[in-house]
A and B are shown apart, each in its own frame.
Chain A
Amino acid sequence: MTDLHHPEPSSVTPPPSAVGPIRRRPPQGVVRPILDLFSSVRLGVVLMVVLFVYCTIGSAGLLYPVGANIFDAGSWVHAMPRQWRPFELTEFEWFHTAFFNALCLLICVNLTVATIRRIPLTVLSAGVWMIHSGIIILAAGSVIYFSTKVEGDTVVVRRQLFIDVPGAGPGGGAKTVGLVVLPGNAVDVPAAAGTGGWRFEIASVQPEYELRSGDDAGKKTYAVQVLVEPPIGARFIRQVLDGYPQYTEDVLPGEGRVKKIDRFGGKSLVDESVRIDLGYQPQDSFWVKDSAALHVRTQGERLWHQRPIRGLPRYNDYIDRQQAIWPPAGYDDYPLQPLSIDVSAAANSDAADPLAGVPVRVTGFLRYAAVQPRFEPAPDGAPVTRPVAEVSIRDASHGAAASAHRATLVADDPARRAAFDGSLLFRWVRTADELREFEGSTEPVLTLDVPRDGAEPVRREIRIDPTRTARLASAAQGDQADDRSVPFSQIEGTDVSFRVWDVVTDLTVEVQGEPVTVSLATVDFKTPAGVFRRWVFDDPSRTRDGKPGDTGPTRDSPAPDPRVRATFRPGSLAPATIVAGPGLNAEPGSPAAKLWTRSPRGVLMSRAIRPGERVALAPEVSLTLDRLIPRAAEVSRPMVVPPSQRDRDADVAQTFAMIEVELGSGDAAQRVWLPFHRYSVEDATLIDPGMSRFEPRPVALPGGRVVELMFGRERKRLPAPVVLHDFELATEVGGFTGSTLSIRDWTSRVRFWKGDPARRGADAWTAPEPISVNNPLSRQGLWFFQAYWDAPRPERPGVPASAGLNFTGLGVGNREGVHLQLFGCVLSVAGMIYAFYVKPIIRRRRIERVRASVAAAVAQDRGEVIR
């Protein structure tokens, strides 16, 4: 079929590459075939296909079938080759390998040679020249950009407190200490000799505190409440308002504002000699993205010395011996893969490095792990050993889906000898006497004393069967029953009746931050004055009263009838108790352990139990004594978290990565595991615990010197220290609801140090400048952009609650070559438009002109012929 729209098919080629034959006389010799090769369009196509495949594999990975039924999703496996052991590359690294760089170079050479040799620079082919030139300029810009790229982030905390502590300075004068304003931070300052010390603790921070006084009423500011514990006298809370020092005032816990208390005579402050001011908290560093470094310092020193770790894996675990870790469930032998990365100081010129001259190697890496202490049979001569039982409980009523609940019980440790809310107990009897003593005090005893008017008080001792408490009876009556259905028993001769609601043995609770093991009986009393609940502890000082139905002794309500006295002595048995030890083995053939339980009728029973044996506790509940270790030593190792239990964000951020570092060599070598720190700061108060842990690891070197090690990211200096002047949260209508969708923008107003040591206070800093989302700030070759914010959060283990807005997270990076890249892009876009839409018009006009001239010539010829 012929296309009559295009009368000269041999002369036209499609845009954009108006490729013609090689038009210059080619060089001779070896250069010619090379030039011919790089003039080839086919080579260009092949290189682009390779680039496509490389990009696809690096970014999306591979999907391949492992089963015959390809329509079943389970038959497919998704793999990310760049994360395989031989590569261990991040996305950024995958796209900067030698292969990728060579590929890009070949494409550029191909583009250049083919353009010069094949495409004449004419009006018609100007578009192709622009496109190809633009791509090459973009590539040149990218070489500059990526070869100089530095990218990271930093945390800038909003304020620190400057505290003038009286009597703590030299000669009894005042001493100024700093305290970074982050929830939970505290500082202890020794006072003059013999008078104890001061403690200052951030009690709370209110980032949007509304002023209620004077002309400033209604304005909002950043408010910090500091709990001050003086060496002598009552503690108080000082409230300091940012920008309003005139409103600083003290509050006495439980009494209110100081100036309203008579004994302070209208003064706002408890102790005017304690001066607390708010000031900036400068940040002078940022941490490089996807980097790794070992930070080292001599114990007692403040500054870290940094050793970059090059080539550290990110995605696979590397250990060289099984004893290095606790493997995840299902692995008896965890795959061994040795690692050896030299991080000795040879490559570093830091003379003050405390490990200078000490061989240092990274010998292990774990992608996601947590240090966990476990018990192992102790070697002979181990200094501290303990009897330990490992048990598991299965509830078959949950069917096949039921999983075993495991517990490790340490007989000598009151905090760890019970499990499952005190339902299971482990006792170790060393002698026959101990066994007899144990058997004589199996049941807990509640003693009640009720005074009577004009008569001897009534005393009643109640031996409690822990399996027959009112709570269990109530639960046994089904969902419809409530606690009122369980009757009270009257104490004869009195108007007091009671019931034992619950008994708990060896419950570990936290008291003022310390774990304390307690046993208690929960007893409900009914007297003419009313009904109340009492938690009777084995330690009488902890006994509390509450209202009926209260679930715990969280508050002490006065009992309606205080006459009743109660004491409690815990029994040696829990609902299920494992007893083991030499005291049990007085006779040959004695069992390794015995299990004490009660029958459904409440009869106490004991039976032998051997390791590995499963024993029924109830119709569908069984107990297995997995392991009994008479002499166990506690060993801490990183536990590899199974992939299915890893939090995706934490995994990506490497929050739970660990490295094993070997210090020294030969027999003197010692290895330690170090957890990853997102920010390697000098002390724990400098970083919010929600952002990064702070767990430097002390290591004693031969010779007694102790150094601290920390695994983190590489830290770089900012061109100038930066401070956070204020932080603004702009919200959508209705204000912040807790959802990001209710936020319109975050704005950090920052100031940079002018660099003049002579300037003090606010004058030392540049004027505040905003950084918000999509609105970065350029400063001395670096761009600062809004990366994350301090969101409010509830309390969670190890991390105090926070109202937020105490710091800002800024991204930091350079951008050399960006303008060259942009120019190349714009040129190529312009070239495409020219090649696709301008060139055809030019060519069409030329064709029409030729046609017109041909037609005119023909007409002229015809005219001449006619003439």
Chain B
Amino acid sequence: MNSAGKALGQWLLGAAIVTAVAALAVAMLLRSSRPGGGGFAAEIDLAPLDRSAVHTDGRIKSFDSFAADTLSHIAGPRRVGGLPKDFTYLDMLLRPERYDDADAVYVKNRTMRADIAEALRASVLAGELEGVTKDRLAAFEKQGLISRRLLMRPEVTPLMNRWAGDLIRTAKFVDQIEGALATMRPESLAADLRIVPPPPGSPPNVPWISVRELAEGAPAKVAPAAALRSASPIDRLDAAVRERLASDWARFATAWQAENAAEANAALASFAAALPAVNAEAYPNQSRLGLESQYFKLGSLTWVWLCYLLSVVFLLMSVAFRWDAARRIGMGAFTASFLLHTASLGLRWYVSGRWPNANMFEAVTTSVWFGAVLAIVIEALARRSPMRNLFALGAAAASMAALMSAHFLPQLDSNIRNVMPVLNDLWLYIHTNVIIASYALIAMAAVTAGLYLVWRLLGGGPDHARGGGGTEMLLDAALTDARMASDPASARRVSAGAVFDGATLVMMQLSFVMLWAGIVMGAIWADHSWGRPWGWDPKEVFALNTFIVYIVLIHVRLRAKDKGLWTAWLAVIGCGVMLFNWIVINFVIAGLHSYA
């Protein structure tokens, strides 16, 4: 193939990839867009309410953020009937009868789903369950959503009783189901919807007023367990204001129940418009609420993984084919992805009022953002070295994987909540950021190590970066121009294996220092938080284990003949240990760091 044909082939391949990623993006957008849902659901305009503030568990958040959070306790990651969560919340509240037999309760455990379906199957086949078909049971087994009516069936009750008795394996899932059933009760939904700010002059520890209190007045305080809860300020609300809000809400509820969208929209707009005026001082910034609403409507921007995917594909092509155009496109896509990623992080920071690193979702997404930042810095230093683009590639691949996890795994809950009291400390920002940045570098190093292994698999020789490794290769880059001028042939003679190995070392060395410094900082925090710097908690032990893998790597490199291969394998193993620490230790093995 001549060079023109090769270039054409490369461009066609690139175009095909772009088209595939674009098609994937469109498919995802179509899947997550607001469906018609029939006349009423399509006609109703919840935008005014979505930008209204709701008080819940020490936070003031936008209504649709609140609704998404609440619905996640009922329907898990699924949408009920394909409808938006803000609509579903209000529909459950105002037309609860529609949800008696609607598949709305999420059963997380797949074995339990299969057992429930099996228990119901005989009744379904006998036609004893009106409206329940085999297909519906199959959909339940696949999606996990089931109706309250089916959960209350006598065929299911003994199963639930048995599972509730198994505290180790199944009781927590039964608790989740019972919690979902309790949450979806209209009285609970109305009591939880604290949407009216307390009247002016109220102290900050007074709860907001719920729509239930608007209609029924202050609830009786159940003493003494509720003694520490502040009384509802509903009785101090100006009577005229209260009457107007109650009247608007009642009008909205009546119109909703009658499926009169125009009237419901008008009532809701009036209700939402009146809310900030109740207590302008206590009411949060409307633009912040709007941004919060947008943030969740945009799916927390976790779909940025698609942009990173594009970047990864083109950067890989540039590595494989030494195709400069692919490199430029890849770097452009990486830059665009990084900007979107930064916007996502910044938006979350602004909305939550704190740097996002206090739960698993935030730690994962922020970690790879740090990786991208470090990749950009290193790329700037290595712009003339043969290792250039590999750092961006590593960061793009790690970010893509992390954001995909955040997008697809329900365990990574994107809802914004307050942090646990123990995390209200400066060291959260120092220790955690250093550690998660080192984790990102470990993942990035595993990417270049993986490239090295592929290169060896394809017949590459046992090459490795010489001398001081990556750092010296970076320093060499500064001399490259002069070297190229004096001996261009020799400067190009660095093998791909040495380049991959050098890039791995650059990231490994940086992660080595940061991981150890992060562990030390964690110990300092633990010393003044828990009274001891080191307690052999599983999270601590596996952070140490990751570090031990890197110690082994450094020392094996001193003696091994095939330094590149050992380095690559140990970098991949180090990444595996890091991921084990992050995933298995957090979700499976209980410890003091379980909230991290």
Contacts and interface: CB of A to CB of B under 8 A. Distances in A.
A17 B509 CA distance: 13
B558 A803 contact: no
Interface in B538-596: 538, 541-542, 544-545, 548-549, 551-552, 554-559, 580, 584-585, 589-590
A204 B162 CA distance: 38
Nearest to A8: B467
Given A48-B552, A60-B584, A774 B531 contact: no
Nearest to B549: A52
Contacts of A3: 466, 493-494, 498
Contacts of A44: 555
Contacts of B161: 403
A803 B469 contact: no
Interface string A36-53: 000001101100110110
A628 interface: no
Contact of A59 (B168, B467, B538, B557): B538
Contacts of B179: none
Interface in A825-867: 825-826, 828-829, 832-833, 836-837, 839-841, 843-844
B558 A13 contact: yes
A6 interface: yes
Contacts of A744: 58, 421, 424
B164 to A, nearest CB: 10
B290 interface: no
B223 A401 contact: no
A14 B224 contact: no
Contact of B422 (A16, A647, A773): A773
Contacts of A746: 421
Contact of A5 (B119, B223, B422, B473): B473
Nearest to B556: A45
B229 A829 contact: no
A52 B227 contact: no
Contacts of B119: 399, 401
A365 B533 CA distance: 32
Given A401-B159, A811-B531, A742 B418 contact: yes
A801 interface: yes
A494 interface: no
Interface string A12-38: 111111010000000000000000000
Interface in A41-92: 41-42, 44-45, 48-49, 51-52, 55-56, 58-60, 91-92
A62 to B, nearest CB: 13
B299 interface: no
B59 A732 contact: yes
A54 to B, nearest CB: 10
A802 B166 contact: no
B495 interface: yes
A17 B554 contact: yes
B211 to A, nearest CB: 16
A826 B520 contact: yes
A12 B468 contact: yes
Contacts of A51: 548
Contacts of B542: 55-56, 59-60
Nearest to B157: A398
B516 A828 contact: yes
Nearest to A848: B479
Contact of A4 (B491, B524, B531): B491
Interface in A774-801: 774-776, 783, 785, 792-794, 801
Interface stretch (B202-210, B320-328, B339-347): B202-210
B476 interface: yes
Nearest to A802: B224
25 contacts: A3-B498, A4-B487, A4-B493, A12-B468, A14-B469, A17-B558, A45-B559, A55-B545, A91-B535, A204-B223, A398-B154, A398-B158, A399-B119, A403-B161, A733-B204, A735-B207, A737-B58, A741-B420, A773-B529, A774-B525, A776-B531, A792-B226, A815-B531, A826-B520, A833-B513
Given A207-B227, A774-B424, A41 B558 contact: yes
Most buried by B among A13, A92, A735, A776: A735
Interface of A: 1-6, 9, 12-17, 19, 41-42, 44-45, 48-49, 51-52, 55-56, 58-60, 91-92, 94-95, 142, 145, 149, 151, 183, 204-208, 397-399, 401-403, 643-648, 652, 729, 731-746, 773-776, 783, 785, 792-794, 801-805, 811-813, 815, 818, 821-822, 825-826, 828-829, 832-833, 836-837, 839-841, 843-844
Contacts of A399: 119, 155, 158
Contacts of B505: 14
Given A142-B534, A840-B471, 4 more contacts: A3-B498, A16-B554, A92-B536, A773-B424
A643 B557 CA distance: 47
A348 B487 CA distance: 83
Given A15-B469, A732-B59, A840-B475, A208 B552 contact: no
Contacts of B208: 734
Interface string B160-192: 011001111100000000000000000000000
B450 to A, nearest CB: 21
B160 to A, nearest CB: 9
A741 B157 contact: no
B54 to A, nearest CB: 10
B401 to A, nearest CB: 22
B411 interface: no
Interface string B218-249: 00001111111110000000000000000000
Q: Which of A3, A17, A839 has the most CB of B within 10 A?
A: A3
Contact of A741 (B58, B228, B427, B490): B58
Contacts of B166: 644-645
Contacts of B469: 14-15
B400 interface: no
Contacts of A815: 527, 531-533
B528 interface: yes
B517 interface: yes
B167 A645 contact: yes
A826 B291 CA distance: 43
B417 interface: yes
B523 interface: yes
A643 B57 CA distance: 34
B531 A60 contact: no
A10 B187 CA distance: 79
A741 B57 contact: yes
Nearest to B517: A829
Contact of A813 (B422, B466, B532, B555): B532
Residue with the greatest number of chain B CB neighbours at <10 A, chosen from A1, A56, A744 = A1
Interface centre among B166, B194, B208, B468, by most chain A C-beta atoms within 10 angstroms, is B468
Contacts of A12: 466-468
A628 to B, nearest CB: 28
B541 A55 contact: yes
Interface in B306-361: none
A41 B559 contact: yes
Nearest to B206: A735
B55 A792 contact: no
Contacts of B137: none
A413 B50 CA distance: 63
Nearest to A96: B536
Given A399-B158, A733-B58, A745-B421, A793 B207 contact: no
Interface in B424-446: 424-425, 427
Given A740-B420, A745-B424, A803-B227, A403 B162 contact: yes
A208 B203 CA distance: 15
